[in-house]
Structure 1
Amino acid sequence: MQPAGAAHRAGRIVAAGIGLRRQLAYVILATATMVALAFLIPLALLVAQLAEERAVADAERQVAVVAAVLAITTQPAAVEEAIASDDLPVTVHGLAGVQLGASGHATVGDVTLARTSGDPLTGDVPGGMVYLEPIDIGKDAAPVVEVFLSDAVLSEGVHAAWAALTGVAVFLIVVSVAVGDRLARNLVRSADRLARASVALGEGDPDVRISPTGPRELAEAALAFNRMADRLAVLRTNEREMVADLSHRLRTPLTVIRLDLETLDRPVRSAREEDDRLRTVHRVRDAAEALEGEIDELIRATRAASVEPAPTAEVRCDAGEVVRQRMAFWSAVAGDQNRPCVIVGADAPAPVALPRPELAAALDAVLGNVFRYTPQGTPMEVAVSRRDGYVAVRVDDGGPGIADPDTAVRRGASGRGSTGLGLDIARRATVATGGTVSIDRARLGGASVVLLFGDPDAVRQERVPRQRRRSQR
């Protein structure tokens, strides 16, 4: 059902992308059309006006020809002959009381108004427009020359110009829509990739990333998505490592329980052995309570993994006090296994910038390895020292040692069938304070594991301690 649900969501994303692209195309089409009309309508009106002005200019030229004839002669016959010879579509009103030329279209009132005003006039008549201009010939009765401009003359070339403008507008709209559709396709493609990547990340693919393409805003969104995916991957890795580390801490009480249960199998032959058995039972009970506490801690840490921790004051503890507390627990187990156990320097103050449970977990991880991987009766020594700006907690044993120190501190690497997390837990605790873990040959003959923590009270330059050269054994 999950692939089908993912396919359904992908289908909805594709449909949404297509719908967005179509809406963008509509917006671009509407915008381009309005812009084209905003230019086309004024241009069309301007073309019609220019055609009318051109027709009026032609009428003025024709009137100028008649005016030249009237300047030479006012005889109606001569004027009629001149109009006919030049084939002028004009009419002369009021020359010797007759009408010469073509049949007139202007009314008597329009002719009288033009003669009285002395200025050219235009007027609308059925089928077109007339142009009237009085001619001053030096007599009381000035003739009026009429030129009839038909609708065809007034609109000559207008329709062709309108058709050309319409074609240009349609071409520009088509080009605008095509270019806009291509831009919308790139925009939708970038948004679609972002949506698909978000779905893939939500489906549990931590490796999905996006190439920042498209508009600047979507490119920034893609970069933000990649940063978020990287952050989620880091958080997931940290969460898994935290759960693994907390789970590894459960092995310490389990180790004690296993070792003590082995001693309970031995038969009791004296009152002293009965007392030892009772102490062992108490340790088993304490280890079970510790195991329950570690499980509670694991549950709390898992629930709080996604909660942003509130800023708190500096956390620190005394390494000597933690060593004394934990060795009181481990010394009893060492006594049952006949392990000589020595504690050195734990009485002096040794501050460490770690919570007490984390330092105890790091120490238990190292001590648990000693009890788990060395034979019973193997001596051990735990020492605490403070100098040169660092606090060192050293755990030595007389066992076979560690053959490959570099691999031993690598997370998940183990040559003895374990989880390989113990020394890595200790290493991470030391690194959190600016220290490190060093493995060398112990004076007792086995391994010497030194947990080096930064001293929070020391005033020193920032530096990373160099690990001592590890001996191969």
Structure 2
Amino acid sequence: MCALVALAFLIPLGISLGEQTRQEALADAARRGALVTGALAVSTEPAAVRRAVEAGGADPATRPVVHGLGGAAPTGRADAAALARAAADRRSVVVDVPGGALRLDPVVLGETVAVVEVFVPDSALDAGSGGRWLLLAAVAVALAGAAVLLVDRVAARAVESTRGLMKAALAVGDGDLGVRVEPSGPRELAEAGHAFNRMADRMAAAHTDERELVADLSHRLRTPLTVLRLDAEGLDSDDTSVGSFTEAELDRRRTIRRIRQAIVTLEGEIDVLIKTTRKTVAHDAGPAMCDVSELVRDRMVFWSALAGDQNRPHRVSGAQLRIPAPVPRAELAAALDAVIGNVFRYTPQGTAFELAVSRRDGYVAIRIDDAGPGITDPDRALRRGASDQGSTGLGLDIAKRVALQANGSVSIDRARLGGASVVMLLADPEATPRQVSRFGLVGRMAREAREQKTRGRRWPRQRPTDG
């Protein structure tokens, strides 16, 4: 194909150059004939005509020949018919003859018409034709070779890009979601590479979210499991090796032992599920709005009963009025259960705790304080999967992700009761937008600096009132 395109351009170019050479040779013949016709217009004396003819060319074979002046007929190449036609038409005529071409220029001399013949040999008409065609052939070969190399490189890049995209697709199909391609090749393949990378990123993010969701759902099982474990610890001893017991007492103690063993096994299975889960979980999200006060009152019905069994003093404040939050009720309940469950799990029985809800400065605050040993490394406790207590380390991470979903944050500080104070800040959806500072850019920068500074502080705790 490349050779055909080159020939389609170069053959007409060669013909055009050959025609140009022919026209230049005939133009030179016209110039030499004009010297003679000019001399004839001045004088028809044989000596003057001879001098003009000699001036028209050094080669006797190509010198001009004058017909029609009388006397002996000159030796020329033009036949009588061509001479008669040029004389009758009284215009220049180009006639092809063996070995070249003739240019016949008529000259009117009174009652007669003389004709000046100028011979142009083939060597002059086709001067340089051999070299010209060789040069054009070389150019055609060079163009075809360059085109072949260019097409080969483009095709190689396209094939390489396609092969890389295919390998990456097969790797993703085999479960390797970390593979990416370097977009290259033609524009369409490069765009396909970018689209593949975006697809792989979204698949990896979705896979990570699914695994985290499974882990979070598994962590929610710790709340009822904690209740079972604490209730099992309150049962009688399951030791049957010391003492004598009735058959009924032996059965009862063995049942208690099986319950405790089942709880331990279930806790281990939940830990394994949290750490090694791989299955896809459908996410059924509830409405992205809930009443914090109503949720706190509802969950504290459950936790109050458990606190009563363990003799834990507890208190709830600020949960009387409706306080909206821009998160699904189920997710906020899971976060609240995770934080309170940590209090029951990591503090001794009889340890007091309190839960306070407040609303100010465009945020809703949920504060859980306890009188336990506290948290030695708050930053580590907020990192997903990090724990100093031998657990999965997901409880506070659940609370942090729920707070971030509501454009808030989670902080850990020392509580007034002596233990840990976990504060969840959630954006207030009904807060009045702040007025723009009348000082323009300077005021806005100052306001943003204050907000950044405030956001970095711990949420001020409300001091409980007596009674």
Same fold (TM over 0.5): yes
Alignment check: 8 A CA contact 1:73 1:79 kept: no
Matched, 1:51 2:25: yes
**Shift in alpha-carbon separation, 1:247–1:68, aligned structure 2, 3 A:** same
CA distance in 2, matches of 1:81, 1:426: 115
- Of 88, 113, 117, the residue aligned with 1:116 is 88
Could you tell me which amino acid in structure 2 is paired with residue 116 of structure 1?
A
1:73 corresponds in structure 2 to 46
**Shift in alpha-carbon separation, 1:198–1:262, aligned structure 2, 3 A:** same
**Shift in alpha-carbon separation, 1:162–1:56, aligned structure 2, 3 A:** farther
Deviation at 1:325, TM superposition (A): 1.2
Per-residue CA deviation, residues 226-261 of structure 1 (Å, 9 max, x unaligned), is 555555544443333233222211222222233334
**Shift in alpha-carbon separation, 1:149–1:40, aligned structure 2, 3 A:** closer
2:308 corresponds in structure 1 to 335
Alignment check: 8 A CA contact 1:380 1:395 kept: yes
Per-residue CA deviation, residues 390-411 of structure 1 (Å, 9 max, x unaligned), is 3332323333322222221221
2:219 corresponds in structure 1 to 248
Segment drifting more, 43-52 vs 168-177: 168-177
Unaligned 5+ runs, structure 1: 1-25, 268-280, 282-287, 289-294
1:277 corresponds in structure 2 to none
Matched, 1:367 2:357: no
User: 1:371-386 counterparts in 2 under 5 A?
Assistant: 371-386=344-359
Deviation at 1:382, TM superposition (A): 2.8
Deviation at 1:40, TM superposition (A): 4.1
Alignment check: 8 A CA contact 1:320 1:348 kept: yes
**Shift in alpha-carbon separation, 1:458–1:123, aligned structure 2, 3 A:** closer
- Of 53, 60, 63, the residue aligned with 1:87 is 60
Could you tell me which amino acid in structure 2 is paired with residue 99 of structure 1?
A
Per-residue CA deviation, residues 371-419 of structure 1 (Å, 9 max, x unaligned), is 2222333333333333444333232333332222222122111011100
1:404 corresponds in structure 2 to 377
User: 1:254-273 counterparts in 2 under 5 A?
Assistant: 254-263=225-234
**Shift in alpha-carbon separation, 1:130–1:300, aligned structure 2, 3 A:** closer
- In structure 1, the residue corresponding to 2:215 is in which secondary structure? helix
CA distance in 1, matches of 2:291, 2:106: 121
Could you tell me which amino acid in structure 2 is paired with residue 129 of structure 1?
A
Per-residue CA deviation, residues 4-54 of structure 1 (Å, 9 max, x unaligned), is xxxxxxxxxxxxxxxxxxxxxx66x66555444564443343233333444
Alignment check: 8 A CA contact 2:411 2:422 kept: yes
CA distance in 2, matches of 1:145, 1:357: 114
CA distance in 2, matches of 1:87, 1:45: 26
Alignment check: 8 A CA contact 1:120 1:134 kept: yes
- In structure 2, the residue corresponding to 1:394 is in which secondary structure? strand
CA distance in 1, matches of 2:398, 2:55: 121
Matched, 1:302 2:294: no
1:284 corresponds in structure 2 to none
CA distance in 1, matches of 2:365, 2:50: 136
2:317 corresponds in structure 1 to 344
Matched, 1:99 2:73: yes
Per-residue CA deviation, residues 276-303 of structure 1 (Å, 9 max, x unaligned), is xxxxx9xxxxxx9xxxxxx9xx999823
Deviation at 1:421, TM superposition (A): 0.5
Could you tell me which amino acid in structure 1 is paired with residue 332 of structure 2?
L
Deviation at 1:72, TM superposition (A): 1.8
CA distance in 2, matches of 1:188, 1:202: 21
Matched, 1:432 2:411: no
Alpha-carbon RMSD: 4.9
Matched, 1:161 2:132: yes
CA distance in 2, matches of 1:132, 1:158: 25
- In structure 1, the residue corresponding to 2:44 is in which secondary structure? helix
State the TM-score, normalized to the length of structure 1: 0.68
Could you tell me which amino acid in structure 2 is paired with residue 43 of structure 1?
L
Alignment check: 8 A CA contact 1:74 1:95 kept: no
**Shift in alpha-carbon separation, 1:452–1:124, aligned structure 2, 3 A:** closer
Alignment check: 8 A CA contact 1:362 1:425 kept: yes
Matched, 1:468 2:458: yes
1:5 corresponds in structure 2 to none
**Shift in alpha-carbon separation, 1:173–1:134, aligned structure 2, 3 A:** same
Unaligned 5+ runs, structure 2: 239-258, 260-265, 267-272, 435-447, 461-467
User: 1:446-465 counterparts in 2 under 5 A?
Assistant: 446-459=419-432, 461=434, 463=451, 465=455
- Of 286, 292, 316, the residue aligned with 1:319 is 292
CA distance in 2, matches of 1:405, 1:378: 20
**Shift in alpha-carbon separation, 1:341–1:299, aligned structure 2, 3 A:** farther
CA distance in 1, matches of 2:51, 2:227: 143
Deviation at 1:357, TM superposition (A): 0.6
CA distance in 1, matches of 2:217, 2:31: 101
- Of 326, 331, 351, the residue aligned with 1:353 is 326
Alignment check: 8 A CA contact 1:366 1:422 kept: yes
